[in-house]
Amino acid sequence: MSLTEPLKSANVPDESELQLAENGELRHLLTMRGLSREQITELLDRSQKFVSEPGQPAARSRALKGRTVANLFFEPSTRTRASFDLAAQRLGADVLNLDVNTSSRKKGESILDMIYTLEAMQVDVFVVRDADSGIPGHIARHANNYVSILNAGESDVAHPTQALLDMLTIRQHKGRIEGLTVAIVGDIAHSRVARSASEALVTLGVGELRLISPPALAPMPQTVPAEAKILHNLEDGLRDADVVMALRIQRERIDNLDGIPGIDEYFATYGISHARMKLAARDAIVMHPGPMNRGIEIESKLADSTSSVITRQVSNGVAVRMAVLSTVINTLDAR
């Protein structure tokens, strides 16, 4: 994709209705769009119950005993895939991690035929990551009514479980989302993380949402909530922020790097460092969804400092995915 082509997120149909069952309960998780403050809060409260302290045995339940979860990752993933895998196992599910390099989709099988094949093997939940937009929604629209689809990262469009784990992490450290000043810094244009986090933050009543990037990596206004402030000056964006989230440049989604600063210039202009964090609130937290490029979007020693909550985000990811899996299984059970 060149920067002159429209972003996929600009043309994505609204799938928020599709993810709810007739009784309003969460049946699939496709997007943060359209989820109410109560629904998000309920998911966060449920996630909190699955949080265990570092060094303690991981939280477990049998909520998915007898169920099968298939992880279909058609784009690279370390954290999210491992996190869904562990979450499903800790709930007692059978887990199928499909090897995409040998899957029949490579042989031309349509994604729906693949889903129907796995449905026939009693898979109940499909966790899907794809570089193309619209795939999780397409599957949800055509899958049988006894399965659930969870979006584990969709092009530049959505990453709802990442948004939930980010909200949980902020809530744990700040006690609330309401009224906070949150600065998201980096390649906003191509980031599904920024997009889903922005939607969740606005629904949860964030005080001020600042999206800070070089001009070439700024989001198109229609792809982010109208409440967001789109900024290019990092110093202005960091001032008094309670939460600072650094993002990586999503090179895999950019064909033409013209206008994008090189590594040294990027760090000098947009890198989050100890020195720059002095502009933020005294107790500000630093976040990053990973994978991190130390010395580019974030100073290495800041990533390892006490203001960094990056490993907490990873731990919370498992808890959030346990909460989402158990929620959609409850909805399927209530059919």
Catalog residues that contact ligand ASP under the rule CB under 6 A. Answer: 153, 159, 192-193, 248, 250, 289-290
Residue 96: its H or E element? strand 94-97
CB of 159 or CB of 321, closer to ligand ASP: 159
d(CA 56, CA 49): 14
User: How is the chain split among helix, strand and coil, in percent rounded to 5?
Assistant: 40, 15, 45
CA angle 180/186/187 to nearest 5° reads 125
Tokens encoding 46: 């449920």
CB of 63 or CB of 286, closer to ligand ASP: 286
CB of 149 to ligand ASP, least distance (A): 17
CB of 15 or CB of 166, closer to ligand ASP: 166
**How is residue 134 annotated by DSSP?**
T
Alpha carbon dihedral 196, 199, 201, 207, in 10-degree steps, equals 140
CB of 165 to ligand ASP, least distance (A): 11
CB of 250 to ligand ASP, least distance (A): 6
CB of 267 to ligand ASP, least distance (A): 17
119 phi/psi in degrees, rounded to 5: -60, -40
CB of 286 to ligand ASP, least distance (A): 15
CB of 63 to ligand ASP, least distance (A): 26
Side by side, which strands form the sheet with 208-212? 229-231, 208-212, 181-185, 243-246, 285-287
CB of 133 or CB of 250, closer to ligand ASP: 250
Alpha-carbon Rg of the chain, whole angstroms?
19
CB 79 within 8 A of CB 290: yes
CB of 68 or CB of 250, closer to ligand ASP: 250
CB 246 within 8 A of CB 187: no
CB of 35 or CB of 197, closer to ligand ASP: 197
CB of 6 or CB of 291, closer to ligand ASP: 291
Residue 324: its H or E element? helix 310-333
68 phi/psi in degrees, rounded to 5: -125, 135
Angstrom CA distances, 262 to 1, 57, 128, 269, stand at 19, 44, 33, 10
CB of 63 or CB of 272, closer to ligand ASP: 272
CB of 66 to ligand ASP, least distance (A): 30
CB of 69 to ligand ASP, least distance (A): 19
271 phi/psi in degrees, rounded to 5: -70, 140
